[in-house]
Amino acid sequence: MEEKNLTINDIAEELGVSKTTVSRAISGKGRIGEQTRRKVLDYIEAHNYRPNVIAKGLAQNKTFNIGLVLPGDYNIVELPFFQNCMMGICKLASERDYDVLISMVTAQNISQLERAVTNHKIDGVILTRTLTEDAPMRYLKENGIPFVAIGSTDDDTVIQIDNDHRNACRELTRNLLGQGVKKIALVGGDESYIVTGNRLRGFQDAFEDMPQWQGSREMFLNIEDGKQVDGIVEQLLAGEFECIVAMDDFLCNCVLDSLQRRDADVPGQVQVGSFYDSTFLANHMPSVTSIRFDVEELGRKACELLLGLLEGDAVERRTLLGYEVRMRRSTR
């Protein structure tokens, strides 16, 4: 018999035991003598047997699927973040013999996630965004589904992993203030996203760290599109602001487009920075000062936490990953 076609029935016949005994040895559940268990496991190891995932799932009461919840309302500039995060998750899941089932949700509609849970298609879930009013998180908690949140939340019962956005934004802002910037503005997105709040606090922390700083600052939040950004840029240029910091690469792109239409020199007339890096910002002329996070590693670590949780391991409640501030030509 060829090893690639080895089945539980083959093993049972070869060893003279029942198929139930083989299944119990594989799953580690059920009553079976230690000598018999060892005999089965030694045979399996010698013949490089890998149990069919469906049979393995039935034996262990698992699907060997994890759910990945993505926001259905992301914009195109956010796509690389979710792609890289998903890459890290899928790579580790594959290494551990798990498959990934994707559910798209919005603040108003979590039906895809509900269907995956109701139909018992997943063992656990990874959320890729945290909100101040978080319907997916609330639903998973109410239904007792193990999950890990990528992002931060004030709920300390939630297993969460995030990049250290607050300290990263604090460091970048301090660098800019330390270079002599006296008039600085922040352009930020939706305040219902917890990451927005963390980046805002980091920006504010920098000023508390430097009480000697004397200057003007403005903050614009809940900015959604280029038209809003265009009006803000016009206002800031009229006020002779020296530096504009965007909370993410989408808003930074809008700022750069608006400045270009006005023939404003970067960094001669106004400096530009971003609290999130992207290939576009790195390759822009001039290249843009920003913060780099290892998003694929973020996804991988999130998957590692979830699989540990599913195995009953003790896992850290809150994990913060590092960052790299990249000072580039868009700031002096």
In terms of Cβ atoms closer than 10 Å to its own Cβ (0-12, 13-18, 19+), residue 178 is exposed
**Dist CA 250 CA 280 (whole Å):** 10
Q: Give the residue, 262 or 63, on which the prediction is more confident.
A: 262
Same domain (yes/no): 54, 82: no
Q: Give the residue, 311 or 56, on which the prediction is more confident.
A: 311
Tokens standing for residue 244: 């504009």
pLDDT band for position 49 (cuts 50, 70, 90): low
Same domain (yes/no): 259, 271: yes
Same domain (yes/no): 199, 263: yes
Please name the residues in contact with 320: beta carbons below 8 A apart, sequence gap of 6 or more: 161, 162, 163, 164
pLDDT at residue 96 greater than cutoff 60 = yes
Mean pLDDT, range 267-285, rounded to an integer: 95
The pLDDT value given to residue 97: 87
Domain that holds residue 47: 3-60
Residues 325 and 172 sit within 8 Å (Cβ to Cβ): yes
Same domain (yes/no): 137, 205: no
Pairing of strands 124-127, 65-71: parallel
Percent of the chain with pLDDT over 90: 71
Same domain (yes/no): 304, 160: yes
Range in 79-83, 170-174, 194-198 the model is least confident about = 79-83
Q: What is the CATH number of the domain that holds 308?
A: 3.40.50.2300
3-state secondary structure string, the chain? CCHHHCCHHHHHHHHCCCHHHHHHHHHCCCCCCHHHHHHHHHHHHHCCCCCCHHHHHHHHCCCCEEEEEEECCCCHHHHHHHHHHHHHHHHHHHHCCCEEEEEEECCCCCHHHHHHHHCCCCCEEEECCCECCCHHHHHHHHCCCCEEEECCCCCCCCEEEEECHHHHHHHHHHHHHHCCCCEEEEECCCCCEHHHHHHHHHHHHHHHHCCCCCCEEEEECCCCCHHHHHHHHHHHHHCCCCEEEECCHHHHHHHHHHHHHCCCCCCCCCEEEECCCCHHHHHCCCCCEEEECCHHHHHHHHHHHHHHHHCCCCCCCEEEECCEEECCCCCC
Verdict on whether the full-model pTM lies above 0.85 = no
pLDDT at residue 107 greater than cutoff 80 = no
The pLDDT value given to residue 8: 77
Please name the residues in contact with 51: beta carbons below 8 A apart, sequence gap of 6 or more: 8, 26, 59
- In this structure, is residue 307 part of a structural domain? yes
- In this structure, is residue 218 part of a structural domain? yes
The pLDDT value given to residue 122: 95
Same domain (yes/no): 286, 213: yes
Residues 251 and 187 sit within 8 Å (Cβ to Cβ): yes
Same domain (yes/no): 286, 190: yes
What pLDDT, in 10s, does the model give residues 215-264? Answer: 999 999 999 899 999 999 999 999 999 999 999 999 999 999 999 999 99
Percent of the chain with pLDDT over 70: 92
Overall domain count for the chain: 3
pLDDT band for position 20 (cuts 50, 70, 90): confident
CA neighbor of 136 nearest in space, from 111, 157, 153, 154:
111
- In this structure, is residue 329 part of a structural domain? no
The pLDDT value given to residue 51: 60
Same domain (yes/no): 72, 157: yes
What pLDDT, in 10s, does the model give residues 313-324? Answer: 999 999 999 999
pLDDT at residue 114 greater than cutoff 90 = yes
pLDDT at residue 50 greater than cutoff 70 = no
pLDDT band for position 40 (cuts 50, 70, 90): confident
